Amino acid sequence: MYEFIVLGFFMRYPMHGYRISKIVNDIVGPYAKFSSGRLYPLLGKLEKQGYLTLSHANSDDRQRMYEITDAGRKQFIQLVMDCSANLGEYQKIFWLKAIFFDLLTSDQREYLLNHYVSYCQAHISYIQKELEDLRQRFENNEGQLNSVISVMNRNIQVWKSDLEIVQTMLKERGE
């Protein structure tokens, strides 16, 4: 997941690791952290794979400036367009991808938006079906499941909210 985020920020302009770490932590925080212990090995891996190149280094090695290569740009697009990895976390991943929509073509954005619409609809349908099944199985004891039902209804509302936002994004794209 962090690979496309890191490459995405390098798509904008060259920068050093500290800046990447700060931006990512601002996005995922306050409880999730993108540590230096995760970032610098990833930068080294991306450089070794030819996705980043060292553009400038001060005498202090911590101030290495990296920039993305053509291969890195292609890898970024491939990672962002992948809708099959980490499906259990795709809601979070989709909104991280949305940060970089300005770096995608119109068709690529539309593909991701339409995919997420389907993803939201599938979750809504699934939870509604399970909620109805739960109510039928415990028809006489529904009061005992109020907290479960409340959480399921909350989850439906979250997915509906996401669906509405993405449908608005698609509509604005079409205007």
Q: For 131-159, what is each residue's pLDDT tens digit?
A: 999 888 887 776 678 888 899 999 999 99
Report pTM.
0.87
> Are both 73 and 128 inside the same structural domain?
no
Q: How confident is the model at residue 114 (pLDDT cuts 50, 70, 90)?
A: very high
Secondary-structure breakdown of the chain: helix, strand, coil percentages, each rounded to the nearest 5: 75, 5, 15
Residue numbers of the domain that contains 143:
105-174
Cβ-count burial of 34 within 10 angstroms (0-12 exposed, 13-18 middle, 19+ buried)? Answer: buried
pLDDT tens column, 55-74: 865 555 557 889 999 999 99
- Provide the number of structural domains found in the chain: 2
Q: Is residue 30 part of a domain?
A: yes
Say whether both 44 and 79 belong to one domain: yes
Task: Give the helix ranges, DSSP H, for 82-145.
Answer: 90-98, 106-137
For residues 72 and 110, state if they share a domain.
Answer: no
Domain for residue 163, yes or no? yes
Residues 139 and 65 in one domain: no
Tell me the two tokens of residue 106. 């119109």
